[in-house]
Structures are given as C-alpha cells and as structure tokens.
Structure 1
Amino acid sequence: MARTTPHDHSPTEGEPLYRRIAAELLGELRDGTIPPGERLPGERQLAEHFEVSRETVRQALQVLRRDGLVATDRRGSHATLPGPPVETPASSGFPLGAWCAERGALTRATVTWETPPPGHAEALGVAPARPTLVHRYWSASADGRELRAAVTSFSAVALTEVEELGRYRDRADGTGAAELRRAYDWMRRAGLTLHHRDTITPVAGTPSVRVTRRVHDQYTRPLEITELVMDAQKDVLVYEFTVPAAV
C-alpha cells in the first residue's frame, strides 16, 4: 500500500488524503460509532478500516490532535469531543462507590495482574494463587472527610468475553491510571445481562461499613466481585437488581 505525505492528494477529492481520513474519522466520532472518552482502535485497525496506510492514519490523527478532538497518552488515543457519551450508561457506574463528578474530589484508580484478595478467588471460581485483573479505587471528598476504597477482581469469563477488559491484562502494572468507569456497559455490549447483589454490613470496631458487590450474568457465571469500605451505616441492607444486555 502506498504511503502518503502531507503533499499527497486524493485524486477524487482534490485534498490531501490524510485530511479526508481525518474528516471521516471525525464523522464517526460525532455519530457515536466511537463514543467520547472511548479508546480509538490502533493505527493498524484504522488503516484497515479506511483502506489507507498507517502513515496516512498517523497524519489524520495528528490533525485531530492539533484541533483538540483527539488526545493520546501511553494507553493510546481517545476522543475528546465535548458532551456526554452518545450511549447513556444504563447501568450503575464502576466501580461500586465511585464519586460522581464533584468539585475538588480526589480519586485514584489502578489495575494490576495479581492473585485476587482472600475470598475473591472462591467467589469468582478462580483457582487458588492464580492471578487475574484486579482494580483498585480510592477517593476522598473535597473536604477530606469522606474516604472510599474499593478493590475489584474480575473473573476469567469477564476477561474473555469483554474485549475492553481483556486488553488491560498486558498493561496492568499498577502504575498508570485505569479508566474503567464504563465497565458495566462494556459487559452489556458483549451480550451479558448483569445481576448485581450488594450486601452492606458494619465493620466491627470502626466507623465504617463494607459493601460487597457480586455480579453474575444470565448464565449465573460470576463476572466480578467488589469490596468497598466507606462511611458508617446502621443495620444491614441487601438489595439486588438486574440490568439487561444491550440490544
């Protein structure tokens, strides 16, 4: 496949080919083919999709970066168009207990590939000492009074059937930020119906409560388990709900 340069022009459009590809990619971002905040496919996949060279895709992305429509970090490129995602999340946000956008709130999230915490392996059907994807979330309110810490372990089923989660395995080194807020919607898009069961109990001797969430699919296969420690509550509350798979 011929490589393009900034001086190459599309014979039919009378403009540089990379600019036409930038316009087509922007159109897909705006129509929701790739929702805002979602990671873009790699250069090779984009080159195959638009039937051009990787160099042309690279130049097209540079145009969009220059205009502030695409941002690139160590995990790849993602759309930065203003406004909420085209697909409004139908399920609760991930992880359990994550703050909604609050002015001044501090948050941190990472992923690692490690042996899950005690109790998680049995809940997920993971063999003892076998590693899996573990997500850790920490947050503090603007005034520093409310602290939340959540640890989530994913099952082999989730990592196999949900492509977006599976991609994290190779970069789960615990150092970079991990953006998994749409994890439940990724699961739904993979055809999984989500059944949540949240149990809330006081933590003995502390002014906190532990919330344990277990999620399984329509075949009763475990997908993830999350343990959240946050502000104290009285009594014990258990509630369950089901989120249908995306149609």
Structure 2
Amino acid sequence: MSGVRLKHQRITEVLAKEIRSGRRPPGEQLPGEHALAQRFGVSRTTVRAALAELSEAGLIATRTGKGSYVLFDGRPLDDRLGWARALATQGIDTRVRTVAVRGVHDEQLADQLGLHSPEFVCVERTRELVADAVVVSYERSFLPPVPGIRELPERGLERESLTDVMGRAGLRPDHGEQRLGGRRIDAREAQLLRRAPGDWFLDTRRTSRAADGSFVEHVVSLLDPDHFRLTVEFG
C-alpha cells in the first residue's frame, strides 16, 4: 500500500508543479487517465488517486462522462459551494457587496422546486474584481427560512460568508442541477452591474439539495460573458 501511495504522490507533485509554473495554462485539459498511466508507468488506479488529490487541492476540476461546467477567464470553476469559493480556489480576488436581504413569497418558484411553502429568504449580492472594480456577477440566493436563516432580513449578513451561515443552519449541499442561458439585463440590473440596459449576460439557475433530497438553495446569477463561459464535455 505504501508503494502505491508514494507513486500517486509523485504524480501529484509533478502535475501540480506543471500547473503552478504555468507550463499547463489555465483551462488546459489534462491528458486522459490512460495517457497519464503510460507517461508515469503506473496503473489507472494510481492515476485516479493523484487526480483526486489535485482536485482536492483545487488545481483541477475532474468530470467523468458527459457534463458541463463554467469557466472564468479560461479557468474551470467547481461552483458547488458557490462562486466565492470557486473563484478563490483559482486565485481570483473578488469583493462582494450585499444589495439586499429580505423575505419573499414566491409561489411560482416553490412550485418549480416542488416545495410546499412559498416562503424564502432572498440574499442579493454583486461580485467585483478587486484589481479593477469590474462587477462580474449579480446573484440572488433563495433559501428556506429555517432557524439561522429566517433572522437574516433583520440582522443582515454583515461580513459573514453566506456559505458559513448556511452551514451553521444545517444547509449543506450534496447534489443538484444547474441550467445556463442568456438574456439582456433590465434597468435595475444594469445599475447594479454598472452596465447599459440591454447588455447581454449569462443567466445561470443552480438548485442545491441535501443528501436526503431536502431543499438547500436556489441561486439565480447573471454572469459577465467577458469573463465567464460555459464548456460542455461529451463522449
């Protein structure tokens, strides 16, 4: 067992060095398991262990079979825990501004999500790049009004991470789905995004659920197409 561990650690170190040094540019797809196994003279099981470590370190995003994922400036984002952590993992420094935290009654959304209660807590935020203050996203997170969340409209988020607040409230995403389209932004959205009404933005809808299938979060995001794009893999 120790020999296998040493082998996959060696592969992890070599690939991590190639990624961090820029030899493998952001967004470049690594060779397949078979090619890596041949390169390092190991089994595919050993390669999988190395790829798992690279994924855990945030250096790659692995996907099997068919799937789609979002890129930021060519870098793959694993946004299952939200844009903040996904961007931070890639070393992208952003600043978040909370626009509003309020309770909402939305029967259409509840019906769409298969929920009995139409009551939500909605957290609206914009996200901008620290380097040049360009606003790259406007996000609305719809959360169930469970203890720890239902109080947010009164006390606000302050400087807390929404992900951390959700974790303390027992809202931990396990699986879900994400849909992506595009549309022109309206006057209010344009003001928040510092753009012109009618500008075209990517529109993503991500619904997360806990391991038992219960509702955790529904996020509607407008993403700047100058920085974000969708990649689809097949085969």
* TM-score interval, smaller chain: 0.3 to 0.5
TM normalised by structure 2 equals 0.44
Q: Look at both structures and tell me which one has the larger radius of gyration over its CA atoms.
A: 1
Task: Say which structure is richer in strand.
Answer: 2
